[in-house]
Amino acid sequence: MSPSPLFYQAGPALPEVSHAQGVYLWDDSGKQYLDGCSGAIACNLGHGRSDIRDAMLAQFDRVAFTYRTQFESAPAVALAETLVSLTHGQLEKVFFVSSGSEAVESALKLARQYFVARDEPQRRRFVSLRPSYHGSTLGALGVTGYEPLEAPFADIVHGSLKVPGPDFYRHGDVDDACHVVSVLEETRAIIEAAGPETIIAFALEPVGGASTGARLLDRHYLEGIRALCDEFGCLLILDEVLTGIGRTGAWFAYQHYGVTPDLLATAKGLGAGYYPVGAMLARADIVDTVMASGGFQHGHTYAGNPLACATGLAVIEAMQRERMLDNVAARGRELKEGLLSLKARFPWVGDVRGLGLLWGVELVADATTKTPFPAEQNRFARITALAKEEGLLIYPRRTLNGVAGDHFLVSPPLTIDAADTAELLARLERAMCRFDAELDRHPAHTNSMSDAAR
């Protein structure tokens, strides 16, 4: 077999996918995999849905592409109106894109242009958390706090002001409330030292994604950040690329906390793996100010194309029709209970955290001290490989700024039923038993990334 011309990341050859249906995929050898992470936490409605296909084909037969400066399209208007309604009218304007990185880039650029239009060009810096992940394009990478992704591009990226976020698992404060106060005080001090008048916006994920293993914030922290933004006159950007469109059990994760952003980025679940589509949502007054100054100096070729928007609209309509948020809540409770049961059984599971159908499992060498495994052992990759051997796909990353710590995400499609949730947990248990046996045999054994994923 000749080498593939494709390249993405280092690692062994991958199986070739054959077909998929529901929450399962099969490779070309016939092996079945339960999609326990919705691909990249994107394939939210599972595979092979005829209702999404029919909506896409109907739009394809009318018109698949138009350019946003030449025509308006009914699907784009309808999807924009639907997204506004999902925010209860708190964010009234929508700009469509094709990916999460583009959605974040769009929010950053709109925020900057808003202050330029207001004659505040000294506002040229963003604030974001370390660790965090906001995208792989250079602007989005600038607000990302994940060392391995940042390092090669540090000299050419306009980096944000990085501040700590709450860590309710590892903090050493008296209690969670004191921890939040401490983090907010440190954040204020960092911003004041840099000059609040230079800040454009604070960008954060309301629930952590791959970079933190579903690390949770809380209402008091988000209220504190909202208050700081209001005090310093900067904007609040919420990155809901991963958490938006139902993943956490609400249409947007910020709705759990009652704190409203000024701009919001969303993508993955909007197309649900059927077509690339994302969106930036914004307050009307921000958009009006920018448009009055000569227009938003930004755009992408496929922004608002009718096939993408028809797909997004069909996804949301299917979720509403099937009351999918209720399923997220029910299956989320089952998944939480199952993961906590596994935590109690395996001492190297340090933390289980999450919301809805977004759960992170953090692995540690010592649960008492919360000491991570040595980074060179690549335990996150090994347990992911074992799960794949057991026919389960999970999503691995490093917990501590990308350089140490191990975790994986369990985030199945929002359509998963009780039986398949139980099957997911059973396959994960088998993988964890094998991982546990390896730890007993080789407590100091190290794996290279390629060996671990083999």
Do 409 and 359 meet the contact criterion of CB atoms below 8 Å apart? yes
pTM: 0.95
* Residue 13, pLDDT score: 84
Mutual angle of helices 100-117 and 284-292, in 10-degree steps:
60
Helix extents (H) in 277-323 = 284-292, 306-321
pLDDT at 441: 72
CA-nearest of 353, 370, 371, 373 to 361 is: 353
For each of the chain's 454 residues, which pLDDT tens digit applies? 577 888 887 777 899 999 999 999 999 999 999 999 999 999 999 999 999 999 999 999 999 999 989 999 999 999 999 999 999 999 999 999 999 999 999 999 999 999 999 999 999 999 999 999 999 999 999 999 999 999 999 999 999 999 999 999 999 999 999 999 999 999 999 999 999 999 999 999 999 999 999 999 999 999 999 999 999 999 999 999 999 999 999 999 999 999 999 999 999 999 999 999 999 999 999 999 999 999 999 999 999 999 999 999 999 999 999 999 999 999 999 999 999 999 999 999 999 999 999 999 999 999 999 999 999 999 999 999 999 999 999 999 998 999 999 999 999 999 999 999 999 999 999 999 999 999 977 654 444 333 333 2
User: What is the DSSP secondary structure assignment for residue 359, as one 8-state letter?
Assistant: E
DSSP-H helix ranges across 233-283:
268-271
* Angle separating helix axes 306-321 and 50-62, nearest 10 degrees: 150
pLDDT of residue 4: 82
| Greatest pairwise CA separation for the chain in angstroms | 68
Specify the amino acid at residue 61.
Answer: D
181-216 residues labelled b (16+ CB within 10 A) or e (exposed): ebbbeebbeebeeeebeebbbbbbbbbbbbbbbbbb
- Residues 396 and 386 sit within 8 Å (Cβ to Cβ): no
Q: How many CB atoms lie within 10 A of CB 226?
A: 19
Alpha carbon distance 422, 418 (integer Å): 6
Check residue 444 and give its pLDDT: 47
Tell me the per-residue pLDDT of 398-416, one tens digit each, with 9 for 90 and over.
989 999 999 999 999 999 9
Residue 443 pLDDT: 57
Which residues make Cβ contacts (< 8 Å) with residue 132, sequence separation at least 6?
143, 144, 145, 146, 165, 204, 205, 208, 211, 212
By three-state DSSP, how is residue 358 classified? strand
Q: What spatial distance separates the first Cα and last Cα of the chain, rounded to whole Å?
A: 18
Report the pLDDT value the prediction gives residue 454, as an integer from 0 to 100. 29
Taking only the tens place, the pLDDT of each residue in 149-179 is: 999 999 999 999 999 999 999 999 999 999 9
Residue 306 preceded by cis peptide, ω within 30 = no
- Which residue(s) pair with 409 in the sheet? 360, 395
The DSSP symbol for 373 reads P
Number of other CB atoms surrounding residue 23 within 10 Å: 25
Angle in degrees, CA 136, 354, 376, rounded to 5 = 55
Number of H helices, E strands in the chain: 15, 15
